[in-house]
Amino acid sequence: MPTAAQKEIDERTNLTGSNKFEMLLFRLGNAAGTERSELFGINVFKIREIVAMPAVTAMAGAPQHVLGVVNLRGQVIPVIDLPAVVGCVPKSGLNIMLVTEYARTTQAFAAEAVEDIVRLDWKQILSADEAMARGFVTSIARLDGDQNTTRLAQILDVESILQRILPADQADLKANSSGPALKLRPGAIILAADDSFVARAMIEQELKALQLPYEMTKTGQEAWNRLQAIAAECQAQGLELRERVALVLTDLEMPEMDGFTLTRNIKKDPLMRGLPVVIHSSLTGDTNEQHVRSAGADAYVAKFAARELDVALRDALARYEAVVA
């Protein structure tokens, strides 16, 4: 008989099948010039562990806001001063270290305090406006589920933070093509979805390098609504959806509807299930990749591996005969 702990693990694992996720809430201190300490959040799936702040070894020439490195069970990882990045001042100091995994990399973020872990529906997450998205906040969580609630948490765009503070190998991030430009059927596009401003810019850069026409959306719900509209137009015109949409490229973590739900919706819809779906996400690891396969996606690529994305797009388009000579 399953133990309570096993049941909790199973429930967490199965959240991806219900458009839900768990978010770690934490505080970074007071916003500059105020006495307010706001809540921030990160998807629990990206948290490897939470530890009391250890001694940090300062590194000569370290980038701004990098406190130094720590040796955590034999692995040396950088520690980022998260309050300093977002402009907060911790009252009680940097007490907690959040160890995270993003796009196959490990790093730690110093924080003031951990508040709670909450289970939310992605419908409770609202996309940040363009001005906020260009900063470090990708979306806002309504923690109580009420549209009129005043209890909110800011979900940080950690991809953007890492790219600005600890830029990855530029050779890997640079858009490149492993072969000739791809040519889709006339009028067909790649429909892409990602809520991160930095990720959208990189995706657009890669699709332009491949000379692929595309349309960019910011949430899974927006992508799904667009697909439904295009499918209705095609049906009215006696066309197959694949004549208008060659492939869907989607992130996993997005406001309103996550990439798992978007993929399942596509694969079970009679008008859409012939569309290839490539998932491009910073959620890495065997468990997440297994979820991707169970959702029916055709490929999974970790952010921001431009070469891998190039290969995955080529393979998926060729398999579905979406390119023309």
Helix (H, G, I), strand (E, B) or coil at 71: strand
At residue 233, the pLDDT reads 96
Amino acid occupying residue 304: F
At residue 174, the pLDDT reads 55
Per residue in 57-109, pLDDT (tens digit) is 999 999 999 999 999 999 999 999 999 999 999 999 999 999 998 767 899 99
Strands (E), the chain: 20-31, 37-43, 47-52, 66-72, 75-81, 88-89, 96-102, 105-111, 113-121, 125-127, 137-142, 152-156, 189-193, 214-217, 245-250, 277-281, 299-302
At residue 9, the pLDDT reads 42
At residue 68, the pLDDT reads 96
Q: Which domains does the chain have, with CATH numbers?
A: 19-165 (2.40.50.180), 170-320 (3.40.50.2300)
At residue 171, the pLDDT reads 41
Residues of the chain with pLDDT under 70: 1-17, 103, 130-134, 145-150, 168-178, 284-289, 291-292, 325
At residue 168, the pLDDT reads 63
At residue 170, the pLDDT reads 42
Listed residue (130, 83, 128) closest to 255, CA to CA: 128
At residue 295, the pLDDT reads 77
At residue 273, the pLDDT reads 85
- How far is Cα 277 from Cα 265, in angstroms, rounded to an integer? 11
At residue 264, the pLDDT reads 93
